[in-house]
Structure 1
Amino acid sequence: MLKMVTFFQGLPGQKSVPGTLDFPGSPQKSRSTSEAESEASMSEASSEDLMPSQHTGMAPDGEEEESAKKEKKKSKGLANMFSVFTKGKKKKKSQPRLSDPEVQPKSSPELDGPPPTVEEVKEALENGRLETAWRVLALERELEAEATAGGTSDEELVRQQSKVEALYLLLRDQVLAVLRRPLEAPPERLHQALEVVSQQELEDCRAATAPAVAVLTATRPRCWLQLWRGGVAEVAAERLDAQPAVVPEGRSEAENKFLHMGRTMKEDLEVVVERLKPLFPAEFNVVHTYAKSYHEHFAAHLCTLAQFELCERDTYLLLLWVQNFYPNDILNSPKLAKELQGIRLGSLLPPKQIRLLEAVFLSNEVTNVKLLMTRALELESQRWARDVAPQSLDGHYHSELAIDIVQIISQSQVKAENITSDVGLQIKQLLLVELSALLRSYQRTFDEFLEKSKLLRNYRANIIANINNCPSFWTSMEQTWQIPQDSLRYLMEPLKDLKDHGFNTLLQSLFLDLKPLFKKFTQTRWATPVETLEEIITAVGVRLPEFSELKDCFREELMEAVHLHLVKEYIIRLSKRRLVLKTEEQQQQLARHILANADVIQHFCTQNGSTATWLNQALPKIAEIIHLQDPNAIKIEVATYATLYPDFSKGHLTAILAIKGNLLSSEVKSIRNILDINTEVQEPCRPLFSLIKVG
């Protein structure tokens, strides 16, 4: 049996994706339009103007060399990264918060001595000292005030602005470098970087309402928060596009990619929730930003993949990830469900693309199921033709065909339901059509075997094995698929025919052996009915062990068929019109023989498993008609008999009444007319007299 493997879990022993949120690479030199214009204006400044250092992003105290080493190393996983958070956050009391509204950017009252010069600020920034960011903002404010006051030449203002913008470029790269690798930065440094971005957002808002200074080049909004979001998107792409550390054998390239991207996204977002969310200010919306970035890159990759002609397995895996694993195992995982609840990331693929892929999957799956079921039936019929004996299971002949067919269908149903319940419903209807066609083919193949293979040694054994097959189909469809009874009976009609044809074949030789024994009743003019019936019962008893390999339910059903045959043949002998009894004593004696024989038949058949209780009154009631002498009493008995056996016709009644030689023709006619009265049938009519032809 095929088994579904949850690809998201990976293979046993497979390591988790290393380096979660260990964001490699230097920060991108992305910049706003205003900053680019500022850089252009700086080219006109003197050679002493400050320009961005080539070592932007260097950590203080000789951390440049260490940082370079880290770039060459493989990322080391979650355990090493979390160690930077073992210490609590501490804030230097001498360092003002840039986002505090009461901070005055022109000076820092908490610092003694004159404010640092531009060169000193540049040196501090190059050394990674983000606490000097307040001075860069102060220089910007002072420049604006100076330009507004007038008295300074335009050339001087441009030169000073170029210095300020050079400082901002240094500051921006330092800040974004920290935020690009947040788990590698000490908590205090990360906090400083976040404060700088928050203050810059406030300044962007302030600048939007402040009057512009014509002399100065517009440098705001700087949009550093947006730049940070862009950096997160780049990191998401790097993380998801990285090659997995372990590539299991036996999986397709697409399967490995799905597993890597899904696991990376889940683990990284869990880190964001657990480690970054407590550190980032609310306006950063850090969980939303990371989730959206990872989602968009994942979706873009799948959309590109979906444009190609995929193999069947990759089509299924793509749907499985888009419709099941991604929304359930990632977005709704225990650690992420609450955090992502209001983000509305949506599906990884557009609905139209999903419907197209589902249609391809359904077509592929139905085709495969049809081929597999046809092949299973071919292998089974080949075993019959080769005269291979069936297996024996718990004392019954057994065939694997039903198990194979049910397993093929069930596995296909499970695959579809693993995508969505709706796809499961769609394939259910398609599979039922294919199963119906398969069962009809099974019946035709079995009938051909019955007709052409009578001389094979294991002929009867294989018939029994195939009859024993039928309940497996019925039970599976009834319990697993919960098909309504009417639909189920229609679907299983070929199996009913297969079983009936099998029974007829198995019983054919027995019934042929009984035919000359039943003829003795009329040949001896019912002189020895007891002895004749004993011969018949003995002959049946000798043959019953041939059916012991049938399942219990079918042995009972087969015994019902034998029961019906015995009663039917007995009635046929009574209806031959070769026995005419003119005296009441003769008629009562025959009635007693019939009652005795009926009791023997009923006892024997019931003892051997027959549950056909509806046959119990067939012979005794005929005996009563023969026994009665009063025409009115006979009419009542005939009317009662017709309610029990609605297929009892005037022809059958005439044949029975022919035994009673002392009835007048007018009395016979009056009794026959009682069958013209409509009687209400309480239960569906089972054939008995419709199987008996009277001449």
Structure 2
Amino acid sequence: MLKMMTFQGLLDQRPVPGTLDFLRHPQKLPSPSEADSEASMSEASSEDLAPPLEAGVSPELEGVKAVKKKKKPKALASVFNLFKGKKKKSSPCSVQPELPEPGLGLDSRAPTVEELKAALDDGRLEVAGSLLALEQELVALAMAGSLDAEELVQRQSKVEALYTLLRDQVLGLLRQPLDAAPERLRQALAIVVEQEHADQRAAEAGPGVTTLVTTRPRCWLQQWRHGVAVVASERMGARPAAGAEGLSEMEGTFLHMGRTMKEDLEAVVERLRPLFPAEFDVMATYARSYHEHFVTHVAALTQFELCERDTYLLLLWVQNLYPNDILKSPKLAGDLQGISLGSLLSPRQIQTLEAMFLSNEAANVKELMARALELESQRWDQDVAPQKLDGRCHSELAIDIIQIVSQGQAKAENITPSLGLQMKQILLVELATFLRSYQRTFDEFLERGKQLRNYRANVIANINNCPAFRTSMEQNWQAIQDPRSHLLDPLRELKSHSFDTLLQSLFLDLKPLFKRFTKTRWAAPAETLEEILTTVGGQLPQFQELQDGCWEELMEAVHLHLVKEYIVCLCKRPLVLKTAEQQQQLARHILANAEAIQHFCMQNGSPANWLHPALPTLAEIIRLQDPSAIKMEVATYATSYPDFSKGHLSAILAIKGNLSSSDAKSIRNILDLDTGTRAPSRPLFSLIKLG
């Protein structure tokens, strides 16, 4: 049997080692100006960063050696470890130049370029305000024309080198936000916000002095977002750790991506969102970055020809697991509600994949059911005895078929309820086709396998299959309009043919016993019936391996046969009773026999209550002498047995030798009133052929 892959439970498992590491592993964050920044930093020697003497800087700074080499900023580190609360201690600065507070210099003196560089090298972000003031001062000098072009370019290069240091410090912190102390993280975030405001002011001011190279907007917020996208791609695209056994490479990849996205975004909600200013829109930024990688990955998969399993897996993630288990998970649903991430695939792509899935699954179900029937048929022909379950003959065929159909239905419903409804319609057709094939195959076995030792046991085992089929269909297909008309008919025919086969020998043994009623002109009917019932009782034990419900149906068939054959004997022409006394005596015999038949059949489990009035009412028709009273009995009888025809009534009335032909015709005409108004739900008289 096929086993469906389900991932809801796997998504909720705790992360394997290395999960959620998007804040700890060193990685380089590309930026639009990375090449320029490297070039600027290579030029940022102590000589370049020393302001000219004529700018008011003390000459002692001219001989200062080159400043420390720029440290490369750490990339985003592991989110998993940091989301558990681990924090890296920042190393203390070896040298801390005395710097004035931003905007309030000591002795009203602004820090020098070299002092700013040394402070930035030591990670002192508080000098960002002084750097911004230095940039604004340079713009003001340029606007006033106080400096020549060469000196403006030289000073601007130094400012830009400092900004490169600051940017790397700030974005480096934001690449590993939970690795920093909250106050230091807020400081870095505030610097980005201030830079965004400076970009806006520069845009509002219009083009600057042509001598200066345009450096605004710096777009640090945009660079941060780009860095988040890079991290998301690296996190989602990382090789998944060894997962659950039985998962294919594609299944393992989807599970890794889904779990990574879910747990990373939960960490963003819990730890980052409270710290980040609104300008960052931190949740939307991370969510869109992870979503876009998922979209790209899924879109790439659709370019290839997918196998059945991968088609199902892709639909399951796109239509169910991703929107429900990730985007609507308890910790994320509220925050993602206002972020329109959309579907991983377009509606047209989804429709194409769903059509492929339905076609594949229908073919798969059809093949599996045919294979199960073939294996079962081989066991019949090989005379393999069926299993015994609680003393009853048992076949696995019904269980196998029900499981095959249920799995196909469940797979579709796992994707979406609407796809489940489409699958139900398809499986309904396939199941009806299978049951008809099953009935034909078993009918062939009933004809060719009569000499096999385990013939009767296999017949009983397949009769026992029918209730399981019927129960499953009535429970699972009740929403389908009138499924019984085409689904249950093959089962009824299979059982009917099987019961006829099982009871054939018994009925042959009963045939000469019933003939005694007519040959002896109904002499000693009680003794004859007693022998009939003894014969039946002697053969019933061979059917005890039937399930209870099937045993009741068998007994109903036996009950029907006894009543039918008794009526056949009454309809035989040779019996004509001309006196009322003779007719009343026969009626008493019939009533006694009817009571014996009913008691025997009920005692052995027959549920056929509908047969109870069949013989007693005929006895009453034979006993009555008043034509009007006979008419009333006939009218009532026809209501209970709509297949009671004029021919059958004539055969019964022929017993009454003292009934005139006109009265007989008048009584027969009662049946014309109801002719064609109602078809019999259970045949009785239609089984009795006259002539």
What's the TM-score, normalizing by structure 2? 0.90
Equivalent of residue 84 in structure 1, options 81, 84, 87: 87
Work out whether residues 125 and 188 of structure 2, in 8 Å CA contact, stay in contact via their aligned partners in 1.
yes
Structure 2 distance, partners of 1:162, 1:56, is 16
Equivalent of residue 271 in structure 2, options 275, 283, 294: 275
- Match of residue 622 from structure 1: 618
Work out whether residues 21 and 271 of structure 1, in 8 Å CA contact, stay in contact via their aligned partners in 2.
no
Work out whether residues 39 and 162 of structure 1, in 8 Å CA contact, stay in contact via their aligned partners in 2.
no
- Match of residue 29 from structure 2: 28
After TM superposition, the structure 1 stretch with the greater mean CA deviation from structure 2, 196-205 or 78-87, is 78-87
1:370 partner SS: helix
Q: Which amino acid aligns with 1:514?
A: L
Structure 2 distance, partners of 1:130, 1:172, is 10
Cα deviation digits, residues 513-560 of structure 1 (max 9, x gap) = 111111111111112212111111111111111221111122222211
Work out whether residues 564 and 615 of structure 1, in 8 Å CA contact, stay in contact via their aligned partners in 2.
yes
2:86 partner SS: helix
Structure 2 matches for 1:154-553, cutoff 5 A?
154-215=149-210, 216-484=212-480, 486-553=482-549
Cα deviation digits, residues 633-682 of structure 1 (max 9, x gap) = 33333233222322222222222222222223333333333333337968
- Match of residue 149 from structure 1: 144
CA shift, 1:137, in A, is 0.6
CA shift, 1:136, in A, is 1.3
Cα pair distance change 1:282/1:110, threshold 3 Å: farther
Structure 2 distance, partners of 1:222, 1:13, is 41
Q: Which amino acid aligns with 1:563?
A: H
Work out whether residues 643 and 680 of structure 1, in 8 Å CA contact, stay in contact via their aligned partners in 2.
no
Unaligned ranges ≥5, structure 1: 60-66, 88-93, 98-106
1:397 partner SS: strand
Structure 1 distance, partners of 2:67, 2:9, is 46
Structure 2 distance, partners of 1:339, 1:405, is 45
The answer to whether structure 1 residue 670 and structure 2 residue 671 are counterparts is: no
CA shift, 1:452, in A, is 0.5
CA shift, 1:348, in A, is 1.8
Cα deviation digits, residues 34-57 of structure 1 (max 9, x gap) = x95x99999999994349999544
Work out whether residues 68 and 121 of structure 2, in 8 Å CA contact, stay in contact via their aligned partners in 1.
no
Structure 1 distance, partners of 2:200, 2:525, is 115
Cα deviation digits, residues 85-111 of structure 1 (max 9, x gap) = 999xxxxxx9999xxxxxxxxx62264
- Match of residue 63 from structure 2: none
Cα pair distance change 1:646/1:268, threshold 3 Å: closer
Work out whether residues 510 and 543 of structure 1, in 8 Å CA contact, stay in contact via their aligned partners in 2.
yes
Work out whether residues 258 and 326 of structure 2, in 8 Å CA contact, stay in contact via their aligned partners in 1.
yes
- Match of residue 7 from structure 1: 7
Q: Which amino acid aligns with 1:172?
A: R
Work out whether residues 100 and 106 of structure 2, in 8 Å CA contact, stay in contact via their aligned partners in 1.
no
Identity in percent: 67
Unaligned ranges ≥5, structure 2: 51-65, 91-97
- Match of residue 62 from structure 1: none
The answer to whether structure 1 residue 590 and structure 2 residue 586 are counterparts is: yes
Cα deviation digits, residues 376-427 of structure 1 (max 9, x gap) = 1111111111111111212221111000100111112112211111221121
Work out whether residues 587 and 620 of structure 2, in 8 Å CA contact, stay in contact via their aligned partners in 1.
yes
Structure 1 distance, partners of 2:141, 2:361, is 76
1:344 partner SS: coil
Work out whether residues 83 and 267 of structure 2, in 8 Å CA contact, stay in contact via their aligned partners in 1.
no
Q: Which amino acid aligns with 2:185?
A: L
CA shift, 1:618, in A, is 1.8
Work out whether residues 40 and 161 of structure 2, in 8 Å CA contact, stay in contact via their aligned partners in 1.
no
Cα deviation digits, residues 176-211 of structure 1 (max 9, x gap) = 112112222333332222111110001111111114
Q: Which amino acid aligns with 2:135?
A: E
Work out whether residues 387 and 459 of structure 1, in 8 Å CA contact, stay in contact via their aligned partners in 2.
yes
Cα pair distance change 1:42/1:186, threshold 3 Å: closer
Cα pair distance change 1:53/1:130, threshold 3 Å: same
- Match of residue 104 from structure 1: none
Cα deviation digits, residues 212-240 of structure 1 (max 9, x gap) = 33332222111110011001111111111
Structure 1 distance, partners of 2:338, 2:277, is 18
Q: Which amino acid aligns with 2:48?
A: D
Cα pair distance change 1:111/1:501, threshold 3 Å: farther
Cα pair distance change 1:108/1:374, threshold 3 Å: same
1:392 partner SS: strand
Work out whether residues 84 and 185 of structure 1, in 8 Å CA contact, stay in contact via their aligned partners in 2.
yes
CA shift, 1:311, in A, is 2.5
Structure 1 distance, partners of 2:640, 2:411, is 52
CA shift, 1:373, in A, is 0.9
Structure 2 distance, partners of 1:350, 1:512, is 69
1:486 partner SS: coil
Structure 1 distance, partners of 2:381, 2:273, is 71
1:603 partner SS: helix
Cα pair distance change 1:31/1:501, threshold 3 Å: same
Q: Which amino acid aligns with 2:307?
A: C
Structure 1 distance, partners of 2:541, 2:309, is 51
- Match of residue 657 from structure 2: 661
Structure 2 distance, partners of 1:246, 1:351, is 33
1:49 partner SS: helix
Count the aligned residue pairs: 668
After TM superposition, the structure 1 stretch with the greater mean CA deviation from structure 2, 10-19 or 589-598, is 10-19
- Match of residue 48 from structure 2: 49
Cα pair distance change 1:432/1:25, threshold 3 Å: same
Cα pair distance change 1:585/1:357, threshold 3 Å: same
What's the TM-score, normalizing by structure 1? 0.89
Cα pair distance change 1:557/1:540, threshold 3 Å: same
Structure 2 distance, partners of 1:9, 1:258, is 14
2:179 partner SS: coil
Q: Which amino acid aligns with 2:7?
A: F
Cα pair distance change 1:145/1:360, threshold 3 Å: same
Structure 2 distance, partners of 1:391, 1:506, is 19
After TM superposition, the structure 1 stretch with the greater mean CA deviation from structure 2, 508-517 or 524-533, is 524-533
1:677 partner SS: helix
2:483 partner SS: helix
Cα deviation digits, residues 302-338 of structure 1 (max 9, x gap) = 2112211222222222222222222222212222111
CA shift, 1:464, in A, is 1.0
Equivalent of residue 567 in structure 1, options 563, 567, 581: 563
The answer to whether structure 1 residue 132 and structure 2 residue 131 are counterparts is: no
After TM superposition, the structure 1 stretch with the greater mean CA deviation from structure 2, 234-243 or 353-362, is 353-362
CA shift, 1:585, in A, is 2.0
CA shift, 1:26, in A, is 4.3
Cα pair distance change 1:95/1:424, threshold 3 Å: farther
